[in-house]
Amino acid sequence: MEWMILICFICTMFYSSYPGKIKKLENKVKKLERNQKGDCEMSNIINSLIGKKCKIKTEDGLLYGGNGEVNFLILEADDEWIKLSYIDKKHGTKIRVIRIDSISNIELISE
């Protein structure tokens, strides 16, 4: 009986890391698919928004600056990452870098 419990414990410990491994493999497959196509359509669109203010929604929800505003200035972008700037509560400029894959929605703010 103790051997069964030990075997079940070992199997549980072995398979507990599978969700993380699956997520890593999914990211690698996405990256390979992008490389195979030659370019990332989303990054081309974001490159056209450099220097403009936007509201950005990610998989985690809206990105918020310290003062509750969601006005981000897009500074730079490449195939995988986007560099954003915003003003926090103390009116200091903060810079944030996020993955393009995590972005679900971008709303351009006209001034």
CATH code for position 64? 2.30.30.100
State whether 25 and 70 are in the same domain.
no
State whether 29 and 44 are in the same domain.
no
Tens digit of each residue's pLDDT (9 = 90 or more) over 41-65: 677 788 888 999 988 887 776 666 5
State whether 27 and 46 are in the same domain.
no
pLDDT of residue 74: 92
pTM here? 0.59
- DSSP at 100: G
State whether 31 and 50 are in the same domain.
no
- In the chain, which residues have pLDDT < 70? 35, 37-41, 61-70, 111
State whether 46 and 33 are in the same domain.
no
pLDDT of residue 66: 46
Contact (CB, 8 A) for 75 and 50:
yes
pLDDT of residue 39: 55
State whether 34 and 44 are in the same domain.
no
Strands (E), 1-111: 53-58, 61-62, 72-77, 81-87, 93-99, 103-108
pLDDT of residue 107: 86
State whether 49 and 32 are in the same domain.
no
State whether 51 and 71 are in the same domain.
yes
What domain count does the chain have? 2
**Residue 73 lies in domain:** 39-111
Distance in angstroms (rounded) separating the CA atoms of residues 95 and 23: 27
List Cβ neighbours of 72 (8 Å cut-off, separation of 6 or more).
Answer: 53, 54, 55, 56, 63, 65, 84, 85, 86, 96
State whether 18 and 49 are in the same domain.
no
Which tokens belong to 21?
A: 């491994």
